[in-house]
Amino acid sequence: MLIGYARVSSSDQSLDVQVEQLQQIGCEKIFRENASGKDAERDQLNALIDFSREGDIIHVMKVDRLARNTIDALQIADSLAQKGAGLVFHDLGNVDINSDVGRVIYTTISAFAEMERKRILQRCNEGRERAKAEGRHLGRFPDKQLHQRIQELAEDGMNKNRISQELGCSRTTVYKVLKPIQMQ
């Protein structure tokens, strides 16, 4: 059986292109997932591995859709190989990675995918540090109306737990708002 696996990382991305390509290949079943590739414990990926049987061929359009680090990529490939299922990546020239040559290519490409993920994280961290150094605000802006209401209820003698329930906010928010006041 031809089986497909399509994954995107975030909800604002679309699976449509991958799914269409997998359908054109002739995949009879396609597992679709909206989850980060850094996590090897993905529901649809696990379902795919459980579903696959000897003689099945799993098709994935790009290596980084299956895994973002070399260890996970090789473990997934091994799980499928133990079941007797093939694994084909179309960005690697349709080579079954369970062959000797395919394994070498897959390991190399997986290592590059892992390196790229680390570089992306590094660039993001550098950008955040630069923004902090420039004094730019990071994160959400405080809800001044909520903070004012928390202070009012605390002044009226309401306890912190009750304030959070009353206003529908977390107790952490209540504590953060009231901490500077209590320190005075």
Where in the sequence numbering do the catalytic residues fall? 9
Q: DSSP characters for 65-114?
A: HH-SSHHHHHHHHHHHHHTT-EEEEGGGTSEETTSHHHHHHHHHHHHHHH
Letter string b/e over residues 84-121, b meaning 16 or more CB atoms within 10 A of that residue's CB:
ebbbbbbebeebbbbeeebbebbeebbeebbeebeeee
CA contacts within 13 A on the Cβ side of 128:
8
